[in-house]
Amino acid sequence: NAGVMQNPRHLVRRRGQEARLRCSPMKGHSHVYWYRQLPEEGLKFMVYLQKENIIDESGMPKERFSAEFPKEGPSILRIQQVVRGDSAAYFCASSNLPAGQRGGLYEQYFGPGTRLTVT
Amino acid sequence: AQSVAQPEDQVNVAEGNPLTVKCTYSVSGNPYLFWYVQYPNRGLQFLLKYITGDNLVKGSYGFEAEFNKSQTSFHLKKPSALVSDSALYFCAVRDTPNGGDNAGNNRKLIWGLGTSLAVNP
């Protein structure tokens, strides 16, 4: 069973360009989470999605950032008009909630991350 | 408000000695607690979790953690450290913004800032 896949692993963008980060969750997982890791700040939650739904986007900046998890295909984190402050490692995680089971599993399995550098 | 604290930025320990990485938490309901590890240039990996049951939880790579409700702590431990254990360790608690044990479909975790563990040969 393949783990969480993220691509690209490294992404370099000039200021003002768009960055698109992709995340394919583990097989059978329908919950996806995006985190940003800035130097000296640890991991920060950005957004939590289920298929075709954004459940919690309280950690995502209101402007320039958007996320989706379509019915088919990977989850996409999109950053428009990137600035130097967007340079960070972006991690995606997925989890599974067994059908009909109250509570379920809370482990989140992480991808290797995408390191975004804005020049 | 829910929160997690890792009071030590860095822990240094000699190989073969026991190690402890500290974590304290604050939640409104019963806590669901986790430890993750991040090796250099790698994503986060799940180590262990406490949901309910025995206070001593055993996880991957020989790590264990002890849940202490009275001290609101969930310290990570290993009896004998290896150089390969050198990494960044994160403690996390499941967010229960409305209190209680079931926050619906919200699976957001609240994270500590991480503790860098250096095991010296």
| pLDDT beyond 70 at B107 | no
For chain A, what's the residue count?
Answer: 119
Compute CA distances B91 → A83, A112, B32, B65, B111, whole Å.
30, 18, 11, 11, 6
- What is the mean predicted confidence (pLDDT) over B38-67? 86
CA distance B11 to A110: 24
What values do phi and psi take at B37, rounded to 5?
-125, 145
Confidence of residue A104 (pLDDT cuts 50, 70, 90): very low
Which of B108, B111, B113, B116 would you mutate first to test chain A, the one with the most A CBs within 10 A? B108
- What is the mean predicted confidence (pLDDT) over A16-32? 93
pLDDT of amino acid B91 = 93
| pLDDT beyond 50 at B105 | no
DSSP track, chain B: --EEE---SEEEEETTS-EEE--EEE-SSS--EEEEEE-TTS-EEEEEEESSS-SEEE-GGG-EEEEETTTTEEEEEESS--GGG-EEEEEEEE--TT-SS--TT---EEE---EEEEEE-
pLDDT of amino acid B12 = 97
pLDDT of amino acid B69 = 92
- What is the mean predicted confidence (pLDDT) over B15-44? 87
pLDDT of amino acid A31 = 86
Smallest Cα distance from B102 to chain A, Å: 7
- What is the mean predicted confidence (pLDDT) over B61-82? 96
Nearest chain B residue (CA) to A46: B108
pLDDT of amino acid B113 = 85
Q: Do A41 and B94 touch (CB under 8 A)?
A: no
Q: Residue B57 is encoded by which pair of tokens?
A: 């939880």
Which of B109, B111, B116 would you mutate first to test chain A, the one with the most A CBs within 10 A? B109
Judging contacts by C-beta atoms under 8 Å, the chain B residues touching residue A45 are 108-111
Give the one of B43, B90, B111 whose C-beta lies nearest to A112's C-beta: B43
| pLDDT beyond 70 at A97 | no
pLDDT of amino acid A105 = 46
| pLDDT beyond 90 at A20 | yes
| pLDDT beyond 80 at B40 | no
What is the residue-averaged pLDDT of chain A? 86
For chain B, what's the residue count?
Answer: 121
pLDDT of amino acid B87 = 92
Give the one of A4, A42, A106 whose C-beta lies nearest to B111's C-beta: A42
- What is the mean predicted confidence (pLDDT) over B29-34? 85
Judging contacts by C-beta atoms under 8 Å, the chain A residues touching residue B110 are 45
- What is the mean predicted confidence (pLDDT) over A23-40? 86
| pLDDT beyond 80 at A43 | no
pLDDT of amino acid B94 = 79
pLDDT of amino acid B96 = 57
What values do phi and psi take at B84, rounded to 5?
-70, -10
Quickly tell me which residue has 């040969």 as its tokens.
Answer: B121
What is the residue-averaged pLDDT of chain B? 85
pLDDT of amino acid A45 = 80
Which of A21, A37, A43, A57 would you mutate first to test chain B, the one with the most B CBs within 10 A? A43
